Amino acid sequence: MLYSAAGGNTSPWASRHLIRFAIGVALMLTIAFVGIQHCFKVSYFAYALCFILLIIVELVGSGTGATRWLDIGIMRLQPSELMKVALILALARLLHNASIESSNRIHVLGPAILMILAPSALVLRQPDLGTAMLIVIGGIVLLFLGGVALRKFGIAAAVACVVAPIAWFMLHDYQRSRILTFLQPDKDPLGAGYHIIQSFIAMGSGGLFGKGWLKGTQSQLSFLPEKHTDFVFTMLGEELGLAGCVFVLVLFAVTIFRLYRIGLLAEARFTRLVALGVATTLFLYVFINVAMVMGLMPVVGVPLPFISFGGTAMLTLQVGLGVALAGAIDLKNPLQNMR
């Protein structure tokens, strides 16, 4: 797809993407064979590292209009993406030893909520609404799986309702306009709504089997914005049609299903939580991206994992999958007596 996005060229995107993918796979396999205990051990450390990176980004980061990236030579790192997996690991470890009763107690729930809100506040300051939301939702899902009482979620929702209007005024203009665009894309076809309308046209004109590889007129003639990153799924829809879209979604669904299998079969609570946490993160990426390019959600800048250009999201999921694989290799290890 990135080959097509560059008009049938491996540069500038496809070749680099492949290299990163290869590096990521190597990392994933390494993590898988290092073993689940080690993952468990480094989880807090990983979280702390990511948190520090987020603070560094806040201080020196670079990026277009928003400070999201850290340039570390071979690639530009987006610590907020890594934080998603780090948070899952850290929360999983926190909840690993908590019983149902204790997970509802303040000595567990308090640090948990803090662990979620602190990084997401930093990410929101970058400002990156999409990622911040993903972090929060990921964290909430983990708490939900960890057995926190539903009543507590009700309270959180009530608080959110109160905070939301206040947050609206704290949002940046472009974030507000994105939400407004989502609500009324036809209102301003050459302005903010232009991208999403062009995206509809591209998807829709693809039909059942698409216009053919490299033959998407919307994509190839640059009517489609950001076709190599956030809108790569649109290009897929235009060139390969509904068939291509369904195929890709089924691949993701299978991956998520495999993670569920690991999560349901694993002995250790940590493994279970990590597997489902990674599954949820993957799902959120895919769902939000696809929903966004099809106009079901505001354009929040969430990439399509493994397909969009941009290394960190892929790396994040590869790390997550690596940990899940490590858990799968050692399904029966209950990780008892580990704190």
- Looking at the Cβ atoms of 69 and 182, the one nearer to other proteins is 182
From 20-28, 106-114, 160-168, 205-213, span contacting other proteins (CB under 8 A): 205-213
Under the binding rule (CB under 8 A), the answer on residue 237 touching other proteins is yes
Spatial contact of 144 and 157, defined as CB atoms under 8 Å apart: no
Under the binding rule (CB under 8 A), the answer on residue 268 touching other proteins is no
Under the binding rule (CB under 8 A), the answer on residue 269 touching other proteins is yes
Q: Is 303 exposed, middle or buried (0-12, 13-18, 19+ CB in 10 A)?
A: buried
From 118-126, 177-185, 242-250, 310-318, span contacting other proteins (CB under 8 A): 242-250
Of residues 59, 51, 60, the one with CA closest to residue 79: 51
Spatial CB neighbours of 190, under 8 Å, sequence gap ≥ 6:
none
Q: In the structure encoding, which two tokens stand for residue 58, read together?
A: 């806040």
Task: Tell me the H-state helices in 1-73.
Answer: 2-5, 14-34, 36-60
Among 129, 135, 202, 314, binds other proteins (CB under 8 A): 202
* In the complex, least distance from residue 204 CB atom to other proteins, rounded to whole angstroms: 2
Under the binding rule (CB under 8 A), the answer on residue 227 touching other proteins is no
Q: Per-residue DSSP letters for 250-312?
A: HHHHHHHHHHHHHHHH-SSHHHHHHHHHHHHHHHHHHHHHHHHHTTSS-----PPTTTSS-HH
Compute CA 147 distance to the chain's CA centroid, rounded to the nearest angstrom: 23
* In the complex, least distance from residue 178 CB atom to other proteins, rounded to whole angstroms: 19
* In the complex, least distance from residue 279 CB atom to other proteins, rounded to whole angstroms: 8
Q: Helix or strand or coil: residue 224?
A: coil
CB atoms inside a 10 Å sphere around CB 334: 14
Under the binding rule (CB under 8 A), the answer on residue 97 touching other proteins is no
Under the binding rule (CB under 8 A), the answer on residue 218 touching other proteins is yes
* In the complex, least distance from residue 23 CB atom to other proteins, rounded to whole angstroms: 29
* In the complex, least distance from residue 302 CB atom to other proteins, rounded to whole angstroms: 14
Q: How far is Cα 258 from Cα 261, in angstroms, rounded to an integer?
A: 5
Among 280, 316, 318, 333, binds other proteins (CB under 8 A): 280
Under the binding rule (CB under 8 A), the answer on residue 156 touching other proteins is no
Spatial contact of 123 and 135, defined as CB atoms under 8 Å apart: yes
Under the binding rule (CB under 8 A), the answer on residue 242 touching other proteins is yes
From 55-63, 80-88, 163-171, 284-292, span contacting other proteins (CB under 8 A): 284-292
Q: How far is Cα 108 from Cα 112, in angstroms, rounded to an integer?
A: 6
Among 262, 276, 314, 317, binds other proteins (CB under 8 A): 276
Q: How far is Cα 201 from Cα 101, in angstroms, rounded to an integer?
A: 52
Residues in the interface with other proteins (CB under 8 A) total 46
Spatial contact of 272 and 264, defined as CB atoms under 8 Å apart: yes
From 20-28, 47-55, 144-152, 157-165, span contacting other proteins (CB under 8 A): 144-152
Spatial CB neighbours of 167, under 8 Å, sequence gap ≥ 6:
none
Pairing status of strand 70-71 against strand 76-77: antiparallel
Under the binding rule (CB under 8 A), the answer on residue 249 touching other proteins is yes
From 33-41, 96-104, 109-117, 126-134, span contacting other proteins (CB under 8 A): 96-104
From 21-29, 122-130, 155-163, 243-251, span contacting other proteins (CB under 8 A): 243-251
Under the binding rule (CB under 8 A), the answer on residue 10 touching other proteins is no
Among 3, 21, 44, 260, binds other proteins (CB under 8 A): 260
Binding site for other proteins (CB under 8 A): 99-101, 141, 144-147, 198, 200-208, 217-218, 221-223, 237-238, 241-242, 245-246, 249, 253, 256, 260, 263-264, 269, 272, 276, 280, 283, 287, 290-291, 294-296
